[in-house]
A and B are shown apart, each in its own frame.
Chain A
Amino acid sequence: AQKVTQAQTEISVVEKEDVTLDCVYETRDTTYYLFWYKQPPSGELVFLIRRNSFDEQNEISGRYSWNFQKSTSSFNFTITASQVVDSAVYFCALSENSGGGADGLTFGKGTHLIIQP
């Protein structure tokens, strides 16, 4: 069974600080996909990134970066120079193929990130 753990329930930092959100996953599949979604106060979920299990290259997009390490089953998300608009709940999610078909997303419980001005 797949499982995603986001141990940090809530993080509060002051604007301009760097912050890392942790995500640890469990899966028995060799082919799987990892995602991060953002849920701002307005409520909708917004896609941030997708990674497949064969691509361990880290990715940077502006102030956002992701570190994927299969050895530790982790897919951590770092925001550099945080801004108040980054305040949201961030979800890590996992999708794997089983029984010949793709399973839907399994989400972690989310990390509530608060950026204080």
Chain B
Amino acid sequence: DAGVIQSPRHEVTEMGQEVTLRCKPISGHDYLFWYRQTMMRGLELLIYFNNNVPIDDSGMPEDRFSAKMPNASFSTLKIQPSEPRDSAVYFCASSLAGPNTEAFFGQGTRLTVV
């Protein structure tokens, strides 16, 4: 298996634009997580899904952020409109059996909002 695949690896966008980050989890993993990493706040869980259903979205910072998982092999994290403070590395991870088990992380998407 190729592991968790995220795209794009780097994204530079202007403030106010819509940004969509994509993730393909490992096949057979029922859980998918979105994390954000910044220097100030470290690694934070934004949302996670179980069998395509959002379970905990309490980490989503505000209504400008939304996440979907239309099927078992694809998830998106959308920011609309984007702001400079959204600049961060966004990681997607998947696991077989939930947050209490080993998570496999993608290489991340480095987002810069100018």
Contact = CB atoms under 8 A, between A and B. Distances in A.
Contact of A107 (B43, B56, B101): B43
B21 to A, nearest CB: 15
A45 interface: yes
Contacts of A47: 102-104
B91 A45 contact: yes
A58 to B, nearest CB: 19
Interface stretch (B11-19, B65-73, B105-113): B105-113
B101 A44 contact: no
B100 A102 contact: yes
B42 interface: yes
B105 A104 contact: no
A69 to B, nearest CB: 20
A50 B101 contact: yes
Interface of B: 33, 35, 42-45, 48, 55-56, 59, 89, 91, 93, 98-108
Interface of A: 33, 35, 37, 42-47, 50, 52, 91, 95, 97, 101-110
Leading 4 A-B pairs by shortest Cβ distance: A104-B45, A107-B43, A45-B105, A102-B99
11 contacts: A42-B107, A43-B107, A44-B105, A45-B105, A102-B98, A102-B100, A103-B56, A103-B99, A105-B33, A107-B43, A110-B42
